[in-house]
Amino acid sequence: MNHFQDGTKDPAKVRVLFVAWFLREDRRWLGEFLPPGRFECSYVGLEERVDSTQKRTPGKKWWQLFRLALKARRRLARHPQDLIVTAFPQVGFTVGLVNLLTFARTPHVIWYFNCGHEYRGLRKWLSRLAYRGIGRCLVYTRHERSVYARVFALPESRFQFTHLTGAALKAEDFRGAREDFGLAPRYIAALGSSGRDYGTLLRAVEGLPIQLVIVAHPHALPAGPMPPNVKVLTSIPQQDYLRVIAEAELVAIPVNNRETASGQMTLIQAMALGVPVVATRCIGTEDYIRHGENGWFVQMADVEEWRRALRSILDDPQERQRLATEALRFAQERFTDQTGARVLGALAEELCPEAGLTVPA
């Protein structure tokens, strides 16, 4: 850490504290891409695994996240920061509430702010309390800005749209899914659990001469037997999840969520791996897909439209390649953590003017 002998901070740098359960020595998230000459980054994570697979946040996870928030608050007390950056609404909630109750006033940004559904009752009231001191929440669809402003009783300007970002992916690094999981030579992949409409997709692929591979948690799947051309995988590691995407003919993202956004993470991963995407036109996909250019839209819950779209793209290898090429280009321009770090740099300039940071255009 760069400080003068009297203990004051180097005025040329902005101190950023990243708080997330997934932070490790080899996983520094956006901090990896912030210029070290202008930013001084520190990190607070958890050693134990945090289960993020359940539909609702269980009590054990809340206990882990409050411990994470208290750990971050102790770090903040010992080493004052110019900006706090947390990941996901739950961590933003616990850190925001702890900071509010302990009178910490460091500017706070919540990354990956997607709630999956509108909060109600006590949870909404507590969230309004915890989020009222947040400087900015990064949301991944334009529509969510007005939804969250209403739900959390905050100005819409507190919610900033940017495309969802993640680690850069290379398709050649994710091979072997067909052999390891016994998948067909050609298959459609449908992945994810939040807000999914697998019932519609299952009816659409029934009788198609191609396998559908669903990777989802059991709570996201409809009851009853699966069609013979469907294979379901659950609880597989992230590396395997990406391998299933990388070897698919196309990725299908059926969504049934009219309140908030679902499907963006799977969408950007598929596009980053150069796999064409067919998705429900909805809040979570409209800011990412340009219909007929880098992906394909179908209307929500329309079985016949899903069937026609899948048949059309599967039967046209040149169209699949064109969509895949454009999807990859679009992803490389917008969906990487390097892009996210540039967004954070601009936010730091806005939220921490007293730090003396000037971010180049």
Domains and CATH numbers, the chain: 14-167+336-355 (3.40.50.2000), 171-334 (3.40.50.2000)
Residue 227 CB neighbours (<10 A): 12
Q: Which residue has the higher pLDDT, 20 or 356?
A: 20
Q: What is the mean pLDDT of the chain?
A: 91
pLDDT of residue 355: 64
pLDDT of residue 9: 55
pLDDT of residue 359: 40
* Res 291 pLDDT > 80: yes
- pLDDT tens track for 89-142: 999 999 999 999 999 999 999 999 988 777 888 889 999 999 999 999 999 999
What the block records as the tokens of 221 is 């799947």
pLDDT of residue 59: 77
* Res 5 pLDDT > 70: no
Contacts of 110 (CB under 8 A, 6+ apart): 86, 87, 88, 89, 91, 92, 96, 131, 134, 136, 137, 138
pLDDT-derived band at 69, boundaries 50, 70, 90:
very high
- 23 to each of 46, 65, 94, 217, 270, how far by Cα in Å? 7, 13, 17, 24, 24
pLDDT of residue 11: 61
pLDDT of residue 54: 55
Calculate mean pLDDT across residues 156-162. 96
pLDDT of residue 259: 82
